[in-house]
Every structure is written in structure tokens, then in C-alpha cells.
Structure 1
Amino acid sequence: MPSVLVPLANGSEELEAVSLVNVLRRCGVDVTLASVEGDTLGGAPIVKGSRGTRVVCDGTLAEADRVSWDAIALAGGLPGAQTLSDTPELISRLKEQSAAGKWIGAICASPPVVLAAHGLLPPTATWYPSVGDTLGDTKRGTTRVVIDEGARVVTSQGPATAIEFGLAVAGAVGVDPKVVSSVREQLLVDL
């Protein structure tokens, strides 16, 4: 079963996070939702999303001790993406993921705020339009989801593209295309 780590911080875009996790789990992916911050509710790590919705995580990033993940996928939102970018343990894991040729996913503010800030944004990518059209050598793609096979990075634009992003990450980590297609149909996604 493929595995995906989804780190979250206070201020992460909860619509993107929950949509991503939901789609991946529907596709049979083992998803671990990990808080990079220390807030808890009844002992469980919790983050407060960018729109105020509280999300209970499976554990903390420090507790997510799996040796390797098929992908690490980041929700966007501010200030959550900035907190993710400022978390040394996460950045170390993302760089190890990239060096190992494993997948990274980022949506909305996370491609520019996290990936570009740490030299992980590939030449082919997209992100939330208000950030700008160009970051370094990368021109923002205009499609809703961009998959850079060479860099093994999936990027997407924002909340309205989160389900498509989840389907793309599922496909990238090796979920059978028939399963991805079935989930797409169940969710009434018209691609």
C-alpha cells in the first residue's frame, strides 16, 4: 500500500488538506496527517486551519518515524505554508525525499513558499496565481495540476483544485489507474 505524509501547521488551508487526505484514503493510500506544531486536544495533535477549522492529526511530525514515504504532500494556506517552510525537520525530510527520487506534492502557497524557498521547485509547476507568474527559473503553469515526472513533484493551484491534486498524487505513488479513475467517477470529478 502506498504511503503519504501530509504535514500541517496552524494556518494551513484546511479545505486542501482534508480534500487531499480524503481522496488519498479513498484510493487506498496509507496517509499520516502530522502536525508540525505542539497544540493538542485531548492528547491528539490539532491544528487550526486558515479559515478557523480545527483538524485533528494522527500525530506529530516527530512521531511520523516511517523510514520512507512514497510522497510527502503539502497543503497551502498562509501562514501555514510559511510555518512548514520554517520547520527544519520537514525541510530535511523533503530534501531527503527529493534526493531519493521519491514524490513531493504541494498546492496553493506551498510551491512558492516551501518548495521554491528551499530549491525544490521544479521547472514545470503551478501554484496560487496571486503569488506571481515566475519564481526563479520556473514560470507558473496555467493548468490546475502539473506533474513534473523528472523532478517527481506534483503541484496544484488552490482549494478548487484540491481533489484533482489528490488524484494526481495517488496516481504518482502507484495507485492503480483503474482505482484512481473509479474514485474520480465516485467524486463526480469531470476531468
Structure 2
Amino acid sequence: MPSVLVPLANGSEELEAVCLVNVLRRCGVDVTLASVETDTLGDAPVIKGSRGTRVVCDVTLAAAGSSWNAIALPGGMPGAQTLSDTPELISRLKEQSAAGKWIGAICAAPFVVLNAHGLLPAAATWYPSIGESVNGTKRGTTRVVVDDGARVVTSQGPATAIEFGLAVAGVVGVDEKAVAKVRDELLVDV
């Protein structure tokens, strides 16, 4: 079963995170939500999203293990900045990239995290208000961009989170028919 790590921080965009996790799990992907924060609710780590919704995570990043088919980052501010400022996460992302495994980022995360650490590929997209180009990379105008060479999936923002999740499911090895079935069940019309 493919596995995806979804790191979260206080201020992460909860809509993007929950849509991503929901879609991946519908596709049969083993998803682990990992908090880079130390707040807890009982024994479980918890983050407060960018719109105030609390999300209970499965583990802390430190306890999340080390082998994933993909690491997928939600956007949202200041969550994306906190993810970018977390050395352990950046180390994992760079190891993931060096091993030829997939990375995903949506909304602000392609710019704030991937670009800041030299991981933004030549073909990418991000939240439109960030700008049309970043360090020579022109923002793709499609809602989701998959760069097969760099093994990076990027997406534009909250309204594209379901499509982002479907794309991540596809690149980590979920059968195309299973992804299409979930797309149809969710009434995705793109």
C-alpha cells in the first residue's frame, strides 16, 4: 500500500490538509498526519489551522518514521513558513528528492517551502497572488502540475485540493481506475 506523510503546523490551511488526506485515504493510501508543533490534545499532537479549526495529528514529525512514497505539504500561512523553518522536515524533503521519491505542495507551500530550499521544479504552480514567476520558474496556469522528472506535484490552492489529492494518489502508484472511481464518486468535474 502506498504511503504519504502530510506534515502540519499551526496555521496550515486545514481545508487543503483535510481534502488531501480524505482523497488519499479513499484511494487506499496509508496517510500519516505529522505535527511539527508540540501542542497536544490528550496524548495526540494537535495543530490549529489557518482558519481556527483544530486538527488532531497521528504523530509528531519526530515519531513519523522515515520511508514514504510521497511527502505532501498543505499551504496556509503562517503554517507553510513554519514548515519551511523546520530543519527536520527540510532534511526529510531533501532526502526524499535525492532518493527520487515524490514531493507534493499546494498553495503557498511550493513557494514558501520548496522554492526556499531549492526544491521547486521547472514545471510548477502555486497560489496566484504570489506572482507569475519565481526564480525563473513561471507559474503554471493549470490547477495541478505534475513534474515527472523532478517528481514534484504542485497545486494552486484550497479549491484545487481534491484534484491535488487525486494527482498525488496517481503518482504514488494507485491504479488509474481506482483514482478515476474516486474522482467520479467525489463528482470532480475537471
| TM-score class normalised by the smaller sequence | over 0.9
Q: Is 1:75 aligned to 2:86, yes or no?
A: no
Matched, 1:16 2:43: no
What corresponds to 2:178 in structure 1? 179
What is the deviation of 1:168? 0.1
SS of structure 1 residue aligned to 2:72: strand
Map of 1:189 onto structure 2: 188
Task: Mark the runs of 5 or more structure 2 residues left unpaired by the alignment.
Answer: none
1:68 deviation in Å? Answer: 1.3
Structure 1 residue matching 2:149: 3-state secondary structure: coil
1:41 matched to 2:50? The reply is no
One-letter amino acid of the counterpart of residue 70, structure 2: A
Match of 1:147 in 2: 146
Query: 1:40, 1:144 → 2: CA distance?
Result: 34
**What's the CA shift string for 1:112-137, capped at 9, x where partnerless?**
00000000000000000011111102
CA distance in 1, matches of 2:172, 2:117: 23
Q: Which amino acid counterpart does residue 57 of structure 1 have in structure 2? A: C
Question: Could you say which residue in structure 2 is the equivalent of 1:102?
Answer: 101
- Give the aligned partner of residue 26 of structure 1: 26
SS for the counterpart of 1:124 is: coil
Aligned to 1:52: 52
SS in 2 for 1:178: helix
1:119 paired to 2:118: yes
Alpha-carbon deviations, 1:149-176, whole Å to 9, x = none? 0000000000000000000000000000
**Structure 1 residue 43 displacement after superposition:** 1.3
TM superposition outliers: structure 1 runs of 4+ over 3 Å: none
Q: Which amino acid aligns with 1:24?
A: L
Specify the SS of the correspondent of 2:63: coil
Q: Tell me, in whole angstroms, the C-alpha distance in 2 between the residues paired with 1:59 and 1:100.
A: 24
Counterpart residue identity of residue 117, structure 1: A
AA aligned to 1:84 is L
Partner Cα distance (2:44, 2:70) in 1: 23
Question: RMSD of the alignment, in Å?
Answer: 0.4
Q: Could you tell me the percent identity over the aligned residues?
A: 83
Aligned to 2:61: 61
Instruction: Kindly provide the CA deviation profile for residues 6-46 of structure 1, in whole angstroms up to 9, marking residues without a partner as x.
Output: 00000000000000000000000000000001000011100
CA distance in 1, matches of 2:99, 2:189: 34
Which secondary structure state, in structure 1, belongs to the residue aligned with residue 71 of structure 2?
Answer: strand
**Across the two proteins, how many residue pairs are aligned to each other?**
190
What is the alpha-carbon distance in structure 1 between the residues aligned to residue 180 and residue 70 of structure 2?
20
1:85 aligned partner = 84
Query: How many angstroms apart in 2 are the aligned matches of 1:44 and 1:34?
Result: 10
Deviation at 1:92, TM superposition (A): 0.1
**Deviation sequence 1:88-130 (CA, Å, 0-9, x none):** 0000000000000000000000000000000000000000001
Query: TM (normalized to structure 1)?
Result: 0.99
Q: Distance in 2 between matches of 1:91 and 1:70?
A: 16
Task: Give the 3-state SS of the residue equivalent to 1:116 in structure 2.
Answer: helix
Q: Distance in 2 between matches of 1:174 and 1:4?
A: 11
